[in-house]
Structure 1
Amino acid sequence: MNRNKGMLLVITGAMFWGIGGTVAQKLFQQYGVDVDWLVTTRLLIAGVLLLAVQFAFKDRSQILGVWKEGKVAIHLIIFGLLGMLAVQYTYMASIKHGNAAVATLLQYLAPVMIIIYAILRKQSSLTRGDVWTVSLALIGCFFLLTNGSISKFSVPPLAIIWGVLSGVALAFYTLYAIPLLKQFDSLVIVGWAMIIGGFALSFIHPPWQIDMNSFTGEAYFYLVFVIIFGTMIAFWFYIESLQSLAPKESSLLGSIEPLAAVLTTVFWLREPFGIFQWIGALCILIMIVFLAMYKKKDSAPQSSANTG
């Protein structure tokens, strides 16, 4: 029963992550919502809610305990700014300039970047699995971004740049979080990281500075979905799934996120997606599943602090 509950939680959380990106795209395109404002608001509210969950259901002493040691506090601030804020902002910017499907798939190149980083740092050796993983990622990206035509990109250049940066930021986020997650609960680390990132971005775009006159009831619903379901609940469910599933199983089931993003972008928002782009998306999905199923014990470490 616990295993079934874990599977249900991670599948639901991954779907919310993928759909949340598509809903954010709807806010950008139809209601002109500013990327800075949405990222600021999303991070601040979701961060507070995650700490509230920690306070209500887990060890509440960790919420302030994380700030008692100077070295840990500095580590957390860096993680919040260069990890959480960077990965959330670049992902949303990629959606703004392109679409949620491409942004999510490009972000999922992070495991390949981690593999390359580990090999360059001589933390692991190149394996046959690594070659397959990198090959699938490169082929997938080529078809996804060009739709089979070498002469032109099917995706706006800014969307590609932000999407690749999102993958880089996610790779940093994953690696940099590991020492923190060994000392404190994930909800504490990610909750504070969101608040730190949201607070920093507030100096650029304060969350109260927005014209909501054009907002309809539908727009408010989309906004609540992105913040509550696409961020807070999605992350909470993923973390809870780790109580009854192995990280490998949660990562495998988490590959539903890019699939949900692609399907909702194409069939709900009616974004064009060519046959070669479908092939590219399939290559990246196969790469994600391959990594989750055949990840070796001595390969690059991964964090349970997923993003969405």
Structure 2
Amino acid sequence: MDSSSIKKQNLSNFKQQNSKNNTIKGTLFALIAGTLWGLSGICAQFLFQNKNLTPEWVVCIRLISSGLILLSVAYAKEKNNIFKIFKSKRYVKDLVLFGILGMFGVQYTYFVAIKYSNAATATVIQYLGPAIILIYQSLKNKSLPSFVELFAVVLSILGVFVLVTHLDINNLVISKQALLWALGAAFALAYYTIKPGNLLNNFSNICVTGWGMLIGGVVFSFIKPIFDISGTFDIYTIAVIIVVIIFGTVIPFSIYVISTKLIGPTKTSLFSTIEPVSSAVLSIFLLNLSFGFMDFLGTAMIIAMVIILSIGKKQ
């Protein structure tokens, strides 16, 4: 074998090894991101139940702090380009709607659902978002979903039914308030996913998300000022809030973006479905939550829906 053939073989081996390393790294990042998002819900439940903080205040401080951090990261990479998003009235309108109805909406409904139930249940029901998106796209495009997609939607609805009733239609396992807020979080998640499409086509993920968080947090701070603190505020409260901001928001979002670049959005979204699983497991070990067979069955059915839709739609 001549030297050129050896070089080509070495280059081929290097590319294969690099591709393998990227796959492993991307998979780990997606799994870690999902797990940290699950941890975020657990921390929020702790703050509501043990420290009597309000969802309004926690969401406000989380969005403003995380938004500023993400924009700082974006500025370090893009410099003044992060401000170009404000040069078009259309972009500004989309960004404000995304920040208030999307970013704040999904955070607030999710946290209130946690307050009235628990992190595991709220997280699982929120994962109805992909089914809602599918229904919306079908209505928008005036086309019927495929049999597999329809099966996935029905499966997710049955999953919520099992999770909420434990197959006893006369008794709800969670309160009506918790169910309504969790369903609201699912609709907010769908809006949050669909709305920034035009923005993401023109600006980076970190830039759009950072501005969305900051705008959503600042606007709501006029309703619930971040200096208006209620509940028990001690060293443990501060520590958990830092975990929510850094480990529950900034880090998972950042590595999720990296994961999509390494293994693609489809695989990343599949691996990140570990979020409701991690939320359930962490709730059991950290908050002594009782999670029975029906809870696991309903959770599995909803996660199966997400997996089916992700595999069926490479978008």
Alignment of 1:270-281 (within 5 A): 270-281=288-299
Q: Is the 8 A contact 1:7 1:241 kept in 2?
A: yes
User: Structure 1 residue 241: deviation in Å?
Assistant: 1.1
In structure 2, the partner of 1:305 is none
TM-score normalised over the length of structure 2: 0.90
CA-to-aligned-CA distance 1:196-241 (integer Å, 9 cap, x gap):
11011101111112157x3332222111101111011111111111
Pair 1:108 & 2:127 matched: yes
User: Structure 1 residue 13: deviation in Å?
Assistant: 1.1
SS in 2 for 1:242: helix
In structure 1, the partner of 2:225 is 206
Among 266, 281, 293, the residue aligned to 2:284: 266
User: Partners of 1:138 and 1:59 in 2: how far apart?
Assistant: 43
In structure 1, the partner of 2:201 is 182
Among 55, 71, 82, the residue aligned to 1:63: 82
Q: Which moved more, 1:161-170 or 1:126-135?
A: 126-135
Q: Tell me, which stretches of 5 or more residues in structure 1 are unaligned? A: 302-308
Judging by fraction of residues, say which structure has more helix. 2
In structure 2, the partner of 1:304 is none
User: Partners of 2:226 and 2:213 in 1: how far apart?
Assistant: 14
Among 16, 19, 22, the residue aligned to 1:2: 22
Which AA in structure 1 matches 2:69?
A: L
Among 66, 73, 76, the residue aligned to 1:53: 73
Among 155, 170, 177, the residue aligned to 1:151: 170
User: Structure 1 residue 107: deviation in Å?
Assistant: 0.9
Q: Whose radius of gyration is greater, 1 or 2? A: 2
Pair 1:89 & 2:108 matched: yes
| Segments of 4+ moved more than 4 angstroms | none
Among 8, 21, 25, the residue aligned to 2:45: 25
Aligned alpha-carbon RMSD (Å): 1.4
In structure 2, the partner of 1:196 is 215
User: Partners of 1:160 and 1:273 in 2: how far apart?
Assistant: 17
Q: Is the 8 A contact 1:147 1:274 kept in 2?
A: no
In structure 2, the partner of 1:131 is 150
SS in 1 for 2:291: coil
User: Structure 1 residue 124: deviation in Å?
Assistant: 4.1
Which AA in structure 2 matches 1:281?
A: T
User: Partners of 1:125 and 1:91 in 2: how far apart?
Assistant: 30
CA-to-aligned-CA distance 1:17-72 (integer Å, 9 cap, x gap):
0111011101100000111100000000000000111122x222331111111111
Q: Which moved more, 1:30-39 or 1:60-69?
A: 60-69
CA-to-aligned-CA distance 1:170-208 (integer Å, 9 cap, x gap):
111111111110000010101000001101110111111
Give % identity: 36
State the number of aligned residues. 295
Pair 1:140 & 2:138 matched: no
Q: 1:211 to 1:113 in 2, by over 3 A?
A: closer
SS in 2 for 1:189: helix
Q: Is the 8 A contact 1:255 1:285 kept in 2?
A: yes
User: Structure 1 residue 132: deviation in Å?
Assistant: 1.5
TM-score normalised over the length of structure 1: 0.92
User: Structure 1 residue 126: deviation in Å?
Assistant: 1.7
Which AA in structure 2 matches 1:152?
A: N
User: Structure 1 residue 245: deviation in Å?
Assistant: 1.2
